[in-house]
Amino acid sequence: MIINTGGRTDTVQYYTQWLLNRFSEGYVLSRNPLFPNKVTRYELTPDTVDCVVFCSKNYKPILPRLHEITDRFHTYFHYTITAYGKGIEPGVPSIEESMKTLIKLSEIVGKQRIAWRYDPVLLTKEYTVGRHLKTFESMAETLSPYIDRCIFSFVEMYQKLERNMPELIPLSEQDMDALAKGFGAVAERNGMLLQTCGTNGDFSRYHIHSSGCMTFDILGNANGVRFKDRKHKGTRQGCHCIESRDIGAYDTCMNGCKYCYANKNPQKAFDNYKYHNPDSPILLGELKDTDTLTQGAQKSFLVKDQVNGQTALTL
């Protein structure tokens, strides 16, 4: 089973102690976002978790103790660093500080386990095509020696985003082509593997790969293991990522990003934080008498060989 720590919230930045406690105690409880009274228990042990996937915009809080997880588990890290300032990402460190933290992370876990995410790519009067290309090039020159790949995607214009960001300028086909062409050229100059994620069109003509951001190949190559050749449907339409179990919760990320899909509004995350207890097995609050607790299915996707009667990972 693949554990995802950052799809619903920036667990690493705001809930570091809770996350470390969960892996130390060896289990976590996750509340179903659609049916809140349904809670699932997942074991967090090396024999039940094939890989722990992180996604964050600030790894600085966890770096001193990250080894408590990386020493025991296969891992992979998505680090989102974009061109946007405090007007769009109020709770996110500056580009310069973020890049320094990524380099430190790379020195700890190795470049093969890190993907730099430059997404979502969106346009406003301030963040033009030209500004994106200039910023992306500057960042790529610094980060390319320390990452496995770079992943970008164009913003999806869903209703909540149109309400939260009226300043958005819709991306035209010409805009996306110009951005992809420029990004591809930058990646080639810096020897950096560049890919899209989700339904963002085919830009292979610019040497941009189309792939999921969390595939068996990516996780396996990063950790020196092989996964079974298993068919999967992805996490949404047009997605090539393998299934995972997210242990976070929606409406809990205090980064306040205006384009965020995981918060109804920024204030709700701050309101919910008062219910967080680092010692609780669940991110918000405690398990209630009215909750229905079930044990989650945790099937391994790893290829295993029998050696002298012992089960060993195939490297």
- Prediction pTM value: 0.92
User: Could you tell me the pLDDT band of residue 306, with boundaries at 50, 70 and 90?
Assistant: very low
Tell whether the model's pLDDT for residue 232 goes beyond 60: no
The residue type found at 171 is: L
Where in 168-218 does DSSP place strands (E)?
194-196, 209-210
- Paired with 76 in beta bridges are 53
- Paired with 38 in beta bridges are 292
Q: How far is it, in rounded angstroms, from Cα 267 to Cα 253?
A: 10
pLDDT of residue 199: 59
What's the start-to-end Cα distance of the chain, in Å? 18
What would the two tokens of residue 239 be? 């997605």
Q: How many residues does the chain have?
A: 315
pLDDT tens per residue across span 14-41: 999 999 999 999 999 999 999 999 999 9
pLDDT tens per residue across span 249-303: 999 999 999 999 888 888 999 999 999 999 999 999 999 999 999 999 999 999 9
Q: Where are the domains of the chain?
A: 2-313
Cα–Cα nearest to 285, from 39, 6, 24: 39
Tell whether the model's pLDDT for residue 304 goes beyond 60: yes
Q: How far is it, in rounded angstroms, from Cα 134 to Cα 194?
A: 16
pLDDT tens per residue across span 160-203: 787 889 999 999 999 999 999 999 999 999 999 999 986 568 89
Q: What is the DSSP string of 251-281?
A: S--TT--TT-SS-S-HHHHHHHHTT--TTSS
